[in-house]
Structure 1
Amino acid sequence: MQPRDFSNRTRFPGNTGNNFELIFVPIDVMQRMPAPLFALVLGSVAYVVSRFDLFTAALLLTFFLGDWLLLAMLPRWNKSFGPTQPPTFMLALLRIPLAFLPFPWWIVAELVGTALVIYGFWIEPHRLTLTRQTLQSPKLGFARPLRVLHLGDIHVERLTDRERELVALCKAAAPDVILFSGDFLNLSYTRDALAQEHARSVLAELGAPLGVYVVSGSPAVDPPEVVSKLVQGLDNLRWLRQEIATIEHEGKRLDILGLDCTHRPFVDAPNLYATLNGNGPERFRILLYHTPDLAPEAAEAGIDLQLSGHTHGGQVRLPFYGALYAGSLYGKAFEAGRRQVGNLTLYVSRGIGLEGGGAPRVRFNCPPEVVLWEIG
């Protein structure tokens, strides 16, 4: 795959005004509606969709209000902390086509919809999984593979069972080194003092014999002044900014390159080349960079392994199709998982946390993951 020229593009993922925002910002205004007015909007939608049949409208409104209640309970149960009215309205739009099925099948379909809401908002976002990957390189040949734990997109809102499970999983995996590819906080909580405190408490628990290395994520989520505050005084980790950390395993050295991410490959590729500073490809080199969109340039630069995130795997994935939306300049080519780009192995993590703003705090067929690499 050859690098593409995005220099004429005006909107970029992870920056203010991106295409994802264009979808959700107009719906966000609903969060500012008084609750009675929003309920009236839902009732009006149900009444029109039911073709002015009061009984059908009442049943449909019951499903709308049930979704609203399920979302409103999420913060009370310490699950997630997003707005309730925009996703409730989006769920209502998804329910409308079901109402045109014959009675009683539309009731059955709506009940299935409620079950999916419970699963997608309450269960799967907290079903943290450990994904195992292996990679062999003639540059290494370890007797015991190097264990690299890759974390992506923690997106802390508040300390929940997911973050506690993350810490426990990191300890149980017994990695040699931990690498985090950015997005510490949820977009809605970037400046929130309590969220920052909770994120620091998670970071403070991370540890590995060869170190913990982190990079910043999207500019809108991880502004430098916020990341600096998050990592200040945490001696257990190192924030890489256009620099190389060298680790040693069984007498052989590996380089970890960490770059800030602007989501503009034409800006970040020169930083990659400058950071390499003419170093040859004799050592095994890992690029830690938030988005997968630098992979074609990294492959040309002789990087062996790139660990990225940002896309969250789409959060909602359909069978046989995958992500409904992939937050990559290369679209679905880099939506999630392992890819081969020339001699470069790329892995795009599904991440741990969730999108912010008015985006639904939902996952479907895309559980959060931590990736354990055994590199030999």
Structure 2
Amino acid sequence: MRPHDFRDRRSFPGLEGGPFELLVTWAERIDRIPDPVFALLLLIPASLFGWAVAWDRALVGVYALGDWILLAALPRRRISFGPPKAPTLLLLLLRLPFALLPFPAHLALQSAGTVLVIYGFWIEPQQLGVTRQRLRSSKLDGRPSLRMVHFGDLHMERSTERDRRLVSIIHSLQPDVILFSGDFLSYSCVQDPEAWAAARQIFAALSAPLGVFAVSGSPPVDPEDVVAQILEGTHVRWLRDERVSLRRGPAPIDLVGLGCTHKPYLDAPRLAALTVCPPENFTILLYHSPDLAPHAAECGIDLQLSGHTHGGQVRLPFFGAIYPSSLYGKRLEVGRRQLGATTLYVTRGLGLEGKGAPRVRFLSRPEVTLWEIGGSESGPAGSSSQRPSRD
């Protein structure tokens, strides 16, 4: 894949002023509608639809009210903390076409829709799993394997049971080093001290023999002054355009941590200044977005660990992410990719988009990734497996 600097692009995923950011900001305002008025907004179109087609089709309004109740209950159960009204309207729009189907098919599909709402909003966002990856390199011959945990996109709003399990899971994996690829906070909670404290509680509990390292994520989500307050008093080293050596055995591993502007034409020169092309040591790039991967390949990076896309957060079978949130579209939306000699891994992350975005995941479960990195004589070049967490 040839690198592109996107210098001529007007908007960038993850920055203010882009179409997605404007949409979720507008959607957040829908929650200001008074509850009685909003209930009428759900029932009146459904009633008109039923009058025009058949009265039993007006039951779609009842299902929409059920969606609203389910979404409004999420904060009370401390599962997620988003505004419920905009996602409820979106779900109503998705339900209306199925009301055109004959009875009883439309009722069966509306009921199936409720099951999907429960799964996507209540269940899957809490299904934190561990994905295992292996990588072999001749640069690491003669040194012991390195166990490395990578996670990203915490998007903290308030502490949840999933967040509490996260620390237990990471410790159970017994990593030599822990890496976080940015987005500490939800877009809704950037200036919320309660969210800062909840995020700090997680990072303060993390430790590893070779250290815990983090980079900042999207600038609107991770302002430098806020990240500094979150990490104050923890053992986390915040990498801001830095290269450090992880020493375990005779051959060191270089870790490059780069701040993300989401503009490759700005970030690629900073990466080149931090690397020796080609690097003599095995080199890991920790960078929030996958969009620098083609440039990382040109710089001889061995492994790039990124996030940002959430795997799309909502994925369709055989298609993948509806909105991949990458300048390269679906080519870098999630998972493991090989760009020449560079391995890229894009984590699905942990949290959810903020502001008025639906707090939903579908076919994109939150994950922590355990890497086992060693010499070429240690085994196959790469493999992966995934299991749900039972910790």
TM-score range, shorter chain: over 0.9
What amino acid does structure 2 have at the position aligned with 1:297?
H
1:43–1:57 contact (8 Å) kept in structure 2: no
| Matching residue of 1:270 | 269
- Aligned ranges for residues 153-302 of structure 1 at < 5 Å? 153-234=153-234, 236-276=235-275, 278=276, 280-302=278-300
The one-character-per-residue Cα deviations of 1:58-117 (angstroms, maximum 9, x if unpaired) are: 522110000000001101111000001000000111111111110111010000000000
1:182–1:214 contact (8 Å) kept in structure 2: yes
| Matching residue of 2:380 | none
| Matching residue of 2:322 | 324
SS of the aligned residue for 2:247 comes to strand
TM-superposed deviation, 1:52: 4.6
2:303–2:344 contact (8 Å) kept in structure 1: yes
Distance 2:347 2:281 in 1: 24
- The Cα RMSD (Å) is 1.3
| Matching residue of 2:344 | 346
TM-superposed deviation, 1:29: 2.9
The one-character-per-residue Cα deviations of 1:158-196 (angstroms, maximum 9, x if unpaired) are: 111110111110000000000000000111011111110
Distance 1:47 1:82 in 2: 28
What amino acid does structure 2 have at the position aligned with 1:176?
D
2:57–2:100 contact (8 Å) kept in structure 1: no
Is 1:15 the counterpart of 2:15? The answer is: yes
| Matching residue of 2:305 | 307
TM-superposed deviation, 1:211: 0.3
| Matching residue of 1:51 | 51
What amino acid does structure 2 have at the position aligned with 1:335?
E
- Aligned ranges for residues 72-83 of structure 1 at < 5 Å? 72-83=72-83
2:27–2:357 contact (8 Å) kept in structure 1: no
The one-character-per-residue Cα deviations of 1:316-344 (angstroms, maximum 9, x if unpaired) are: 11111111110000000000000011110
1:288–1:307 contact (8 Å) kept in structure 2: yes
| Matching residue of 2:388 | none
TM-superposed deviation, 1:36: 0.9
Distance 2:291 2:180 in 1: 17
The one-character-per-residue Cα deviations of 1:287-307 (angstroms, maximum 9, x if unpaired) are: 000000000111001110000
Distance 1:293 1:53 in 2: 48
What amino acid does structure 1 have at the position aligned with 2:34?
P
Distance 2:24 2:96 in 1: 19
User: Normalization by structure 2: what TM-score?
Assistant: 0.93
SS of the aligned residue for 1:76 comes to coil
Distance 1:347 1:120 in 2: 24
| Matching residue of 2:109 | 109
- Which has the larger displacement, 118-127 or 50-59? 50-59
2:124–2:362 contact (8 Å) kept in structure 1: yes
- Which has the larger displacement, 123-132 or 30-39? 30-39
TM-superposed deviation, 1:55: 4.1
| Matching residue of 1:96 | 96
Distance 2:87 2:66 in 1: 12
Higher relative contact order (CA 8 A, sep 6+): 2
TM-superposed deviation, 1:19: 2.5
Distance 1:98 1:174 in 2: 49
2:177–2:212 contact (8 Å) kept in structure 1: yes
Distance 1:8 1:124 in 2: 38
The number of residues matched between the two structures is 374
TM-superposed deviation, 1:280: 4.8
Structure 1 pair 85–225 and aligned structure 2 pair: CA distance change class (3 A): same
| Matching residue of 1:139 | 139
Distance 1:112 1:328 in 2: 32
What amino acid does structure 2 have at the position aligned with 1:3?
P
- In the alignment, structure 2 segments of 5+ residues that lack a partner are 375-391
TM-superposed deviation, 1:210: 0.4
SS of the aligned residue for 1:134 comes to strand
TM-superposed deviation, 1:57: 5.6
TM-superposed deviation, 1:252: 1.6
SS of the aligned residue for 1:249 comes to coil
What amino acid does structure 2 have at the position aligned with 1:138?
S
Distance 2:198 2:27 in 1: 29
Identity over aligned pairs, percent: 55
| Matching residue of 1:2 | 2
User: Normalization by structure 1: what TM-score?
Assistant: 0.97
Distance 2:111 2:242 in 1: 53
